[in-house]
Chains A and B, each alone.
Chain A
Amino acid sequence: MTATQSRGVARIHAAFEAAQAQGRAAFIPFMTAGFPSAAAFPALADTLLERADILEVGLPYSDPLGDGPTIQRASEQALEGGTSTRRTLEAVRELRTRHDTPIVVMTYVNPIYAVGPREFMRLAQEAGVDGLILPDLPPDQDLEIADLAAEHGLAVTFLIAPTSTPARVKLVAEACTGFLYAVSVTGVTGAREATALNEVPAMLALAREHARVPVAVGFGVKDAGTAHQVAAVADGVVVGSAFINAINHGQDVAALVATIADGCQK
């Protein structure tokens, strides 16, 4: 592996290690690029980056079938505001001028295929993206994407779910180069009234048998309490819809970020 190939992977792993050294799970907030508007996104990202160990930026897509209504509406709003693949990557490039925190981009496969996988990876690399999260790409569907990402120094994260069989967990875990993303529930993204995390420990135990990378948990983490529950068993905590809901309801996002980040203490 050359230095270029390991760049994103190394930076992401370092972020997890730094958090662990402080007795925390890595805090991984998510925000849709271009939300609530293209103009307001950078300041919002700055707020998240004040406490983020890794920032997950959503590249808005018209048909995000792994997402619940909150992120879907945020994506629609961003697209209506003119956010595109190139503008999303420009926003990441701009954040790079102020922050050194690793940034991963979450996107569906169609925008990647539409631009062309090689061209997409090149653009992402140039913008300073460290990794990709691909919710509708099981790793055995397209081996080219992971190879091209590696060629461009990007880490790749695939997902496992409570329904994953041991064989699937092994396959997915071995394919991840950034971190492994364990979905806490059978369902789509979204803060839930009651988040049942009872399936998480067993899933993580299975994942750790095979993963050579840190394991983060997401879907349904909405407050300090659920973040703390997840932090007790995972290396990282992903939180998305809760922040978008806060913005939609005019709540103090910085305060929510601080509370949830504090909740990631082990």
Chain B
Amino acid sequence: MTLTLPEYPQPDARGRFGRFGGRYVPETLIPALDELETAYRAAKADPEFLEELDRLLKEFVGRPSGLYLASRLTEHAGGAKIYLKREDQNYTGAHKINNCLAQALLAKRMGKRRVIAETGAGQHGVASATAAALLGMDCVVYMGVEDIRRQELNVFRMKLLGAEVRPVTSGTSTLKDATNEAIRDWVTNVRDTFYILGSVVGPHPYPAMVRDFQSVIGEEVKVQLQAQEGRVSPDVIVACVGGGSNAIGIFAPYAYLPEEQRPRLIGTEAAGEGVETGRHAASVAGGRTGVLHGAMMYLLHDHEGQITPPHSISAGLDYPGIGPEHCLYSDTGVAEYVPVTDAQAMEGLQLLTRLEGIIPALESAHAIYHAVQLAPTLSPDQIIVVNLSGRGDKDVAEVMRLLQKAEDAAPPSERQEVRA
């Protein structure tokens, strides 16, 4: 057994990251959250649980994922070396599986037979359905009808895996509303149901627990970078943030290091059509403190507290809030959060695909774009690690549609052959 789950200084005993986080949920759930916290603490200290999780991460997920020097991308950008942490190599295609397997194992340990999940892009839904199939549990996934349209293939995958996909038509019919429905289901069936939450959001202990389960990403980077470059810390780490689970997974192992040892941590937020247009999902750049889904965080809402619909090209980033630990990092300067637009993400996607033969998820493409912008400002002996949180298979139909639309809109003289 080599796996340990780290102990970080945050959150505090009340489940708060500074002023963020907490447990703003119906009283019905408080005992369940207490029970979860207790069970999680016990599991974290139980060698048998850690051994089983370690075995599954290696044998089922395929960890460790590669740390790959993107030399053609580096050459193109001209400057710092760009490494990719290849979470896209994970079984099911994204970092989400790390957390889902761990939570499903915990659910089983707690004697729960039924798991529920919410999903936006479908990666968390597929990972939850996969974990449930593996461990022999019933699984219900809530998904907004708008996302069901955008992610048809993942919907089919979930069904094939034996999960029930429940379409959500309330509100904006996207991830935020799927999360509301999952919480309502949990409030109703709390005695026999485990809620596998997909990001570092929600009431305590979820943000801390999901972070711990995802921190395997950053812990691996330390070891791999040491072997490949003779140093533990890169100069910069870039990761996309919606709720923020892949970012926290690669940030957290570095975030609590002394400042002089800490790399620059950069989260790329979905700026959609531009933060100034109001059509975006950039909670730090365009939001204010508020409470949603049980936690205080930076949030997109109007002056009376009504949640405003987020927008992103990427269903996985299309969420109006950002995890409470990221909010604390932002306030304290531990990490920076920069907006990247839909168009820039498309550019990042095409660039990585052409230069490295890797089709990234639209989420990860936000981080790729920013890394390429940043690299020329750094020297060749410096290192940027980009968390490639997932692969783009799920997005190719949407990308094809968007590129076709762009091509049709361009004057004939500027038309390029965009299809391979």
Residues of A within 8 A of B (CB): 61-63, 65-66, 68-69, 72-73, 76, 79, 84-86, 108-115, 135-138, 141, 158-165, 168, 172, 183, 186-188
Contacts and interface: CB of A to CB of B under 8 A. Distances in A.
Given A110-B290, A110-B301, A115-B304, A66 B26 contact: yes
A61 B305 contact: yes
A141 B32 CA distance: 16
Q: Most B CB atoms within 10 A — which of A85, A109, A138, A164?
A: A138
B306 A79 contact: yes
A112 B296 CA distance: 13
Q: Which 7 A-B pairs give the minimum distances between C-beta atoms?
A: A114-B305, A161-B28, A111-B305, A187-B188, A110-B305, A62-B306, A66-B26
Contacts of A63: 171, 176-177, 180, 292-293, 307
B224 to A, nearest CB: 41
Contacts of A164: 27-28, 30-31
B31 A113 contact: no
Given A69-B170, A113-B296, 11 more contacts: A63-B292, A65-B183, A111-B304, A112-B305, A113-B291, A114-B304, A114-B305, A138-B30, A160-B27, A186-B189, A187-B188
B339 interface: no
Contacts of B211: none
A133 B191 CA distance: 25
B23 A138 contact: yes
Contact of B188 (A72, A79, A84, A186): A186
Counting chain B residues whose Cβ lies within 8 A of the other chain, the interface size class is 35 or more
Q: Most B CB atoms within 10 A — which of A110, A135, A164?
A: A110
Given A68-B184, A163-B32, A163-B190, A111 B27 contact: no
Contacts of B288: 114
A138 B33 CA distance: 12
14 contacts: A63-B307, A65-B25, A65-B26, A65-B180, A69-B170, A114-B301, A114-B305, A138-B30, A141-B22, A158-B27, A165-B31, A168-B31, A172-B27, A188-B188
B405 interface: no
Q: Most A CB atoms within 10 A — which of B177, B304, B305?
A: B305
Contact of A110 (B25, B190, B292): B292
B24 interface: yes
Nearest to B307: A62
B31 A110 contact: no
B412 to A, nearest CB: 44
Given A72-B170, A187-B187, A138 B305 contact: no
A76 B171 contact: yes
A136 B24 contact: yes
Contacts of A114: 288, 290, 301-305
Contacts of B299: 110
Contacts of A161: 26-28
Contact of A136 (B26, B34, B176): B26
Nearest to B32: A163
Contact of B184 (A65, A85, A135): A65
Contacts of B24: 109, 136-138, 141
Given A65-B183, A158-B27, A113 B304 contact: no
Q: Most A CB atoms within 10 A — which of B23, B290, B304?
A: B304
Contacts of A162: 28
B376 to A, nearest CB: 41
Contacts of B27: 138, 158-161, 164, 168, 172, 183
Contacts of A137: 24
A113 B289 contact: yes
Contacts of B22: 141
A157 to B, nearest CB: 11
A111 B23 CA distance: 17
B10 to A, nearest CB: 18
Interface string B167-201: 00011000011001001100111110000000000
A197 B305 CA distance: 35
Contacts of B296: 113
A138 B304 CA distance: 22
A62 B293 CA distance: 12
Nearest to A182: B27
B292 to A, nearest CB: 6
A85 B305 contact: yes
B177 to A, nearest CB: 8
A232 B290 CA distance: 40
A230 B224 CA distance: 63
A33 B224 CA distance: 58
Contact of B31 (A62, A136, A159, A163): A163
Contacts of B292: 63, 110
A165 B33 CA distance: 12
Contacts of B302: 114
